[in-house]
A and B are shown apart, each in its own frame.
Chain A
Amino acid sequence: MALPASAPDATRTEELGRELDRLRAEIVTGRGAADAHYIHTVIAVQRGCEVAGRCALAVSLLPPAWVAGTTLLALAKTLDNMELGHNILHGQWDWLGDPAIHSTTWEWDFATPAAAWKRTHNHQHHTYTNVVGRDRDLGYTVLRMAPEQPWHPVHLLQPVFAALLAPVFEWGIALYDLEVDAVPSGRKSLRSFLGEATTLLRKAVRQSAKDYVLFPLLAGPSALPCLLGNLTASAARNIWAHTVIFCGHFPADVHTFTYTEEEIEGESRGEWYLRQIQGSANIEGGPLLHVLSGNLSHQIEHHLFPDLPSNRYAELAPQVREICARHGLPYVSGPLWRQYASMWGRVLRHALP
Chain B
Amino acid sequence: MVHSFRAPPILPWAWLVNRLTSPLTVDDYLGMLDPLWSARHPAGRVGAVRPEGPGAATLTIRPGRGWTGHRAGQYLPVGVEIDGVRHWRTYSITSPPGDSDVTLAVKAHPDGRVSPHMVHRTVPGTVLRLGPAQGEFTLPEPLPDRILFITAGSGITPVMGMLRTLARCRTAPDTLLLHSAPTPAECLFRDELATLEQELPWLRIHLNHTRYDGRLTSDRIAGVCPDWRDRDAWVCGPAGLLDTAERQWASVGLEGRLRVERFHLTPVQPPGEGAVGGRVRFARSGVETDAAAGTPLLAVGEAAGVPMPYGCRRGLCFGCLVPLVEGRVRDLRSGELRHGQSELIQTCVNAAAGSLTLDL
Binding site for B on A (CB under 8 A): 31-37, 43-44, 47, 51, 95-100, 102, 104-105, 107-109, 114-115, 118-119, 192, 195-196, 198-199, 203, 206-207, 209-210, 214-215, 218
Could you pull out 21 A-B pairs where Cβ atoms are within 8 angstroms? Answer: A34-B84, A35-B84, A36-B85, A37-B84, A44-B32, A47-B32, A96-B84, A97-B85, A99-B311, A99-B319, A100-B31, A100-B41, A104-B302, A104-B309, A105-B309, A108-B23, A115-B305, A195-B286, A195-B287, A206-B19, A209-B19
Q: Would A33 and B309 count as touching, CB distance under 8 A?
A: no
Measured CA separation A104–B286 after assembly (Å) = 17
Q: Would B308 and A97 count as touching, CB distance under 8 A?
A: no
Measured CA separation A260–B312 after assembly (Å) = 41
A267 to nearest B CB, angstroms? Answer: 24
B205 touches A (CB below 8 Å): no
Chain A residues with CB under 8 Å of B88's CB are 97
Chain A residues with CB under 8 Å of B85's CB are 32, 36, 95-97
Measured CA separation A119–B306 after assembly (Å) = 11
| Those 4 A-B pairs whose CB atoms lie nearest each other, nearest first | A36-B84, A195-B286, A107-B23, A97-B86
| 11 additional contacts (CB under 8 A) given A115-B307, A207-B22, A214-B16 | A36-B85, A37-B84, A51-B29, A96-B84, A97-B88, A97-B312, A102-B310, A105-B310, A119-B305, A206-B19, A209-B19
Measured CA separation A168–B19 after assembly (Å) = 22
Q: A97-B86, A115-B285 are in contact. Are A104 and B307 (CB under 8 A)?
A: yes
B85 to nearest A CB, angstroms? Answer: 5
User: Which of A95, A99, A115, A209 has the largest count of B CB atoms less than 10 A from its CB?
Assistant: A99
Q: Would A98 and B86 count as touching, CB distance under 8 A?
A: yes
Chain A residues with CB under 8 Å of B320's CB are 99
B19 partner, pick from A36, A192, A195, A210, beta carbons under 8 A: A210
B47 to nearest A CB, angstroms? Answer: 23
Measured CA separation A33–B81 after assembly (Å) = 9
Q: Would B286 and A214 count as touching, CB distance under 8 A?
A: no
Which residues of B, 80-130, contact A by the 8 Å Cβ criterion?
81, 83-88
Measured CA separation A119–B287 after assembly (Å) = 14
Chain A residues with CB under 8 Å of B307's CB are 104-105, 107, 114-115
B20 touches A (CB below 8 Å): yes
B28 touches A (CB below 8 Å): yes
A214 partner, pick from B20, B29, B32, B309, beta carbons under 8 A: B20
Q: Would A97 and B87 count as touching, CB distance under 8 A?
A: yes
Q: Would B84 and A118 count as touching, CB distance under 8 A?
A: no
Chain A residues with CB under 8 Å of B319's CB are 99
Q: Would A104 and B22 count as touching, CB distance under 8 A?
A: no
Measured CA separation A203–B284 after assembly (Å) = 12
Q: Would A32 and B32 count as touching, CB distance under 8 A?
A: no
Measured CA separation A43–B32 after assembly (Å) = 9
Chain A residues with CB under 8 Å of B86's CB are 96-98
Chain B residues with CB under 8 Å of A207's CB are 22-23
Q: Would B22 and A31 count as touching, CB distance under 8 A?
A: no
B36 to nearest A CB, angstroms? Answer: 15
Chain B residues with CB under 8 Å of A119's CB are 305
Measured CA separation A107–B287 after assembly (Å) = 18
Measured CA separation A114–B136 after assembly (Å) = 39
Nearest CB in chain A to that of B305: its residue: A115
B57 to nearest A CB, angstroms? Answer: 23
Nearest CB in chain A to that of B87: its residue: A97
B228 to nearest A CB, angstroms? Answer: 44
Q: A95-B85, A105-B307, A115-B306 are in contact. Are A210 and B20 (CB under 8 A)?
A: yes
| 0 or 1 for each of B17-54: is its CB under 8 Å from A? (1 = yes) | 00110111000110110000000010000000000000
Chain A residues with CB under 8 Å of B22's CB are 109, 206-207, 210
Nearest CB in chain A to that of B312: its residue: A97
Nearest CB in chain B to that of A195: its residue: B286
B276 to nearest A CB, angstroms? Answer: 25
Measured CA separation A149–B320 after assembly (Å) = 45
Q: A36-B81, A195-B285, A210-B22 are in contact. Are A100 and B28 (CB under 8 A)?
A: yes
B66 to nearest A CB, angstroms? Answer: 13
Measured CA separation A79–B87 after assembly (Å) = 28
Measured CA separation A209–B28 after assembly (Å) = 20
Measured CA separation A118–B88 after assembly (Å) = 28
Measured CA separation A51–B24 after assembly (Å) = 12
| 0 or 1 for each of B294-316: is its CB under 8 Å from A? (1 = yes) | 00000000100111111110000
Q: Would B41 and A99 count as touching, CB distance under 8 A?
A: yes
Measured CA separation A195–B307 after assembly (Å) = 15
Chain B residues with CB under 8 Å of A206's CB are 19, 22-23
Measured CA separation A99–B312 after assembly (Å) = 8
Measured CA separation A209–B87 after assembly (Å) = 39
A51 to nearest B CB, angstroms? Answer: 7
Q: Would A31 and B84 count as touching, CB distance under 8 A?
A: yes
Measured CA separation A104–B301 after assembly (Å) = 10
Chain B residues with CB under 8 Å of A34's CB are 84
Nearest CB in chain B to that of A218: its residue: B20
Which residues of B, 59-85, contact A by the 8 Å Cβ criterion?
79, 81, 83-85
Chain A residues with CB under 8 Å of B19's CB are 206, 209-210, 214
Chain B residues with CB under 8 Å of A99's CB are 41, 309-311, 317, 319-320
Chain B residues with CB under 8 Å of A104's CB are 302, 307-310
Nearest CB in chain A to that of B83: its residue: A32
Chain A residues with CB under 8 Å of B28's CB are 47, 100
A215 to nearest B CB, angstroms? Answer: 7
Q: Would B286 and A33 count as touching, CB distance under 8 A?
A: no
Q: Would B286 and A118 count as touching, CB distance under 8 A?
A: no
User: Which of A100, A102, A195 has the largest count of B CB atoms less than 10 A from its CB?
Assistant: A100
B82 to nearest A CB, angstroms? Answer: 9
| 0 or 1 for each of B267-288: is its CB under 8 Å from A? (1 = yes) | 0000000000000000001110
Chain B residues with CB under 8 Å of A96's CB are 84-86
Measured CA separation A198–B309 after assembly (Å) = 21
Measured CA separation A196–B305 after assembly (Å) = 12
